[in-house]
A and B are shown apart, each in its own frame.
Chain A
Amino acid sequence: GAVVSQHPSWVICKSGTSVKIECRSLDFQATTMFWYRQFPKQSLMLMATSNEGSKATYEQGVEKDKFLINHASLTLSTLTVTSAHPEDSSFYICSATGTGPGYTFGSGTRLTVV
């Protein structure tokens, strides 16, 4: 079946630094990648949608300059949290759709900013 590999699974970084999260579709072409965020004890909220080769579309309230999304190829999308602060600590998860069955999720990345 379709697999999306997400790395890293967890990361701790210092406040002010940047962190990059990768999502790769292993056996299908991901024409669209969705990035979600989950605060503790809350549901998943869509942050942005990226189509391969295009600029990402951000949901209202999500800072595009802070959460940089790159989807340069059909198998790789990255989310970079720039100048991270403790309030950015969260669980980030990607989902890919494309030539495979839709709604294939990565395993998530737990980001802790100290």
Chain B
Amino acid sequence: AQSVTQPDIHITVSEGASLELRCNYSYGATPYLFWYVQSPGQGLQLLLKYFSGDTLVQGIKGFEAEFKRSQSSFNLRKPSVHWSDAAEYFCAVGGDPYGGSQGNLIFGKGTKLSVKP
């Protein structure tokens, strides 16, 4: 079955501390992986994506993620969290977005990030 697991429902970190949000996936074909952020009442903003190549991808707002095929993981990291990073983060997996059978994205349940001053 195709699925995305974000094991942490809620994480609280202090401002300036490092952050790692976990994401594990199960997907029957070559996975294309995404991290989105959603502020309350807002839409989705793409942080970064992995399609192929270097397994460490850089995104916006200082975020990065590392694809580990052997662990079926795509964890999101940030070295120093800012108060404005408080939001809900979603990991998602899908098939080849340029392929002939582009499908839907499968989302994890999300991790809520709170930032302490």
Contacts and interface: CB of A to CB of B under 8 A. Distances in A.
B107 A101 contact: no
Contacts of A46: 104
Contacts, number: 49
B98 A101 contact: yes
A17 to B, nearest CB: 23
Contacts of A6: 43
Interface on chain A toward B: helix, strand, loop, or mixed SS?
Answer: strand
B102 A102 contact: yes
Interface of A: 6, 32, 34, 36, 42-46, 49, 93, 95, 97-98, 101-103, 105-108, 110
Closest 9 pairs between A and B when the two form their complex, measured CB to CB: A102-B97, A108-B43, A97-B102, A107-B43, A43-B109, A34-B104, A44-B107, A43-B107, A102-B102
Interface of B: 32, 34, 41-44, 46, 90, 94, 96-98, 102, 104-105, 107-110
